[in-house]
Structure formats: structure tokens, C-alpha cells
């Protein structure tokens, strides 16, 4: 892979993103030049001029915003983390606005995506790796234990499956997505329930049901390149016991060791998807068995770093600086 040893790292993220802030700071401490921008600034406040010749492969040109500019051929890495969508000019006819936004999004992302540099959270890699049903197959093939799972919109089938499990269940969204209520965006947490609660509402859409895994604690495993940062999450409330994201104030964090067998399985899992970053969630049973729940290929990590002082931002900076996949 060709890299620019003294070139810029592009940070493509929203203006208010604590994780991106930490990576920018860690790169600055290493003397690595950074150009940070949000896709929402393109095409109104950001200019792209990318050329491709007739015989030599590769894009060259310039990315410019105000007084700052970067040569595309001098970019060393791209850190792409949940940017906003391009915002077009009010002068664009409303009938063409969505089309123009799509042209801007694909034009920018696919040109940058064609640069021969390391990416973290490449959109194509993210889309291929972010689906829970596929992750369960990949995790099992990698040697990790996963919960028994059913995806269905059939009440009779769900009832028969629940009988075979013979215990409490959980329900979670099949895919990430927000619900807007009274103008507020809300995420649906994982919910524990008794099989007797199953009713006809299950048939309104697809539901992901899993066996409840009794656990001593949970683990958020943050992986950056070949570095692993396993942290136990101890819940101090009933809501956090089911889904720790429901009550951050009730959580305590503790770095722990990861068993070699689990670490090997995680490496196989990430290699399958070509991921150089992942935020993986596990339950650890009282017998010490690790059970894989899911992997967020662009998951939050700054709260873990803040609570434990683990050098997660520095690991990002090292990977991006050295352009090591």
C-alpha cells in the first residue's frame, strides 16, 4: 500500500464528536498534520477537484476549505466517523435536491475511498459488517459463542421457539435506527421479557429474539488495529443489567484480561470483515465463559477511555500515522 509518510490524515466527522476530538489531539501531539471536515459542509463550503488520467491509475487534485487545502495524492490515511450528509445550496430546485445531495455524497466518498491509503470505518466496509444476523454467523464460524437467536414476524413460531428455550428472553432491534417521538430522537434499548408476553404485535415487523444470558458482568472490547482494550462493565441498576446503555450513571468500568481463545476468535471475526476497528459487546457468565452479542464497527469509545485512561486515542493515532492496516 502506498502512503504519504508526511501527508495529512483526513478526519471526516461532525463538528461535535468527542471521539474525533481525541484522535485529532493525539495526532497533533505526534506532529501529524490533520484536515478535519464534516461532509455537511460539502459542496457549499468545501471544494473538491479530483482528476484521473488516461493511463496512470489514481486520483490527484485538491480538497480545499477556506484557507486550508490538501493534495489528494499526499493524504496518508482517512478517519471517517459518522459525518453529516452533504447540504446543498437553497438555490437547488427542491425537485433535484435529493439527487444533488446523492451526487455530492458519492462523489466525495468514492473519490476519497479510491485513494490507496488506510481507512478507518470505510463506508463500504461498515455496511458489510454492521448487520447483526450476519455477525452471528461470522462470530460462530470464528469460534465465539453466541446466544440462541430467532428473527421472525410469526407469533406461533416465536411461541414454539420460546418453549424450546425454556427461560426468559430478550428482544432488540434487528438494525440500528432511531424513533422520533414528540420531536425527540430515541433509541430502543434491549428489553428482557417473559415468553408469556408474546402477542400479535410481534407480527407487525421483524423482531430479533434471543435467549437471556445470565452474566457476572459485560465487556466492551475496543479493538484498534492489533491492539485490544477489554473493559468490564459492572451494572448498578436493573435497567443497566439488561442494557448498560440505558443507565450510564449506574456503570463502573474495570480493565480485564481477555482469554486467548476469545482474542483469536475476535481476530478472525474482524479479518473476515476487513475491519481495523471494532467495538464488541460480550457477556461473561459466572463460569467465565464469554458470549458474543454484537460488534459496532464505528462504536463509541471515548467514554471507556475517559473512565479507564486506556490509550485508545493514541492507538488510533498510531495506526493512522503509520498507515498500518
Which grid coordinates are listed for 41?
A: 459542509
Which grid coordinates are listed for 285?
A: 457468565
- Residue 20: its pLDDT value, please? 94
Could you tell me if 16 and 106 lie in one domain?
A: yes
- Residue 1: its pLDDT value, please? 46
Which positions ≥6 away from 23 have C-beta within 8 Å?
Answer: 11, 79, 313, 316, 317, 320
Angle at CA 211, nearest 5°, toward 197 and 242?
80
Low-confidence ranges of the chain (pLDDT < 70): 1-5, 177-178, 323-325
Could you tell me if 221 and 191 lie in one domain?
A: no
Domain of residue 174, residue span: 148-211
Residue 70 domain-assigned? yes
CB atoms within 10 A of CB 31: 8
Total tally of structural domains belonging to the chain: 3
Q: Which helix (H) or strand (E) holds 322?
A: helix 312-322
Tell me the pTM. Answer: 0.91
Residue 79 domain-assigned? yes
- Residue 250: its pLDDT value, please? 79
- Residue 324: its pLDDT value, please? 45
Could you tell me if 158 and 179 lie in one domain?
A: yes
- Residue 246: its pLDDT value, please? 73
Could you tell me if 34 and 87 lie in one domain?
A: yes
Could you tell me if 83 and 70 lie in one domain?
A: yes
Q: Which helix (H) or strand (E) holds 133?
A: helix 132-141
Residue 34 domain-assigned? yes
CATH of the domain at 272: 3.30.470.20
Could you tell me if 56 and 109 lie in one domain?
A: yes
pLDDT in tens, 40-60: 999 999 999 999 999 999 999
Could you tell me if 197 and 222 lie in one domain?
A: no
Could you tell me if 238 and 289 lie in one domain?
A: yes
Bridge partners of 222? 229, 279
C-alpha 109: how far from chain center? 17
CATH of the domain at 200: 3.30.1490
Could you tell me if 201 and 228 lie in one domain?
A: no
- Residue 5: its pLDDT value, please? 58
> Residue 12 phi/psi, 5° resolution?
-105, 100
- Residue 184: its pLDDT value, please? 78
DSSP helix/strand/coil, 28 = helix
- Residue 183: its pLDDT value, please? 75
Q: Which of 77, 105, 121 is the last residue of a domain?
A: 121
Q: Where are the alpha helices (DSSP H) in 60-129?
A: 94-113, 123-129
Separation of alpha carbons 269 and 259, rounded Å: 15
Amino acid at each position: 500500500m502506498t502512503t504519504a509518510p508526511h501527508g495529512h490524515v483526513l478526519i471526516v466527522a461532525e463538528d461535535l464528536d468527542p471521539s474525533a476530538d481525541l484522535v485529532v489531539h493525539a495526532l497533533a501531539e505526534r506532529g501529524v498534520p490533520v484536515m478535519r471536515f464534516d461532509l455537511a459542509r460539502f459542496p457549499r463550503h468545501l471544494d473538491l477537484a479530483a482528476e484521473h488520467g488516461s493511463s496512470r491509475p489514481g486520483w490527484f487534485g485538491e480538497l480545499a476549505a477556506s484557507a486550508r487545502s490538501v493534495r489528494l495524492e499526499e493524504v496518508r490515511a482517512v478517519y471517517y466517523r459518522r459525518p453529516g450528509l452533504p447540504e446543498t445550496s437553497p438555490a437547488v430546485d427542491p425537485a433535484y435536491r435529493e439527487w444533488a445531495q446523492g451526487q455530492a455524497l458519492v462523489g466525495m466518498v468514492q473519490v476519497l475511498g479510491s485513494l490507496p491509503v488506510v481507512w478507518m470505518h470505510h463506508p463500504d466496509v461498515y455496511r458489510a459488517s454492521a448487520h447483526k444476523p450476519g455477525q452471528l454467523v461470522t462470530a460462530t464460524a470464528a469460534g465465539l459463542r453466541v446466544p440462541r437467536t430467532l428473527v421472525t414476524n410469526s407469533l406461533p413460531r416465536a411461541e414454539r421457539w420460546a418453549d424450546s428455550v425454556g427461560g426468559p428472553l430478550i428482544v432488540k432491534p434487528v438494525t440500528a435506527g432511531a424513533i422520533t417521538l414528540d420531536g425527540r430522537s430515541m433509541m430502543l434499548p434491549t428489553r428482557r421479557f417473559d415468553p408469556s408476553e408474546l402477542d400479535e404485535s410481534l407480527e407487525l415487523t421483524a423482531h430479533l429474539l434471543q435467549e437471556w444470558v445470565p452474566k457476572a458482568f459485560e465487556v466492551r472490547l475496543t479493538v484498534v488495529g492489533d491492539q485490544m482494550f477489554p473493559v468490564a462493565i459492572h451494572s448498578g441498576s436493573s435497567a443497566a443489567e439488561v442494557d448498560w446503555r440505558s443507565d450510564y450513571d449506574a456503570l463502573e468500568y474495570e480493565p480485564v484480561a481477555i482469554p486467548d481463545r476469545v482474542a483469536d476468535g475476535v481476530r478472525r471475526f474482524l479479518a473476515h470483515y476487513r475491519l481495523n476497528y471494532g467495538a464488541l459487546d460480550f457477556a461473561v457468565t459466572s463460569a467465565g465463559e464469554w458470549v458474543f452479542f454484537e460488534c459496532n464497527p464505528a462504536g463509541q469509545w471515548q467514554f471507556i477511555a475517559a473512565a479507564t485512561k486506556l490509550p485508545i486515542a493514541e492507538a488510533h493515532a498510531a495506526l493512522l500515522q503509520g498507515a498500518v492496516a
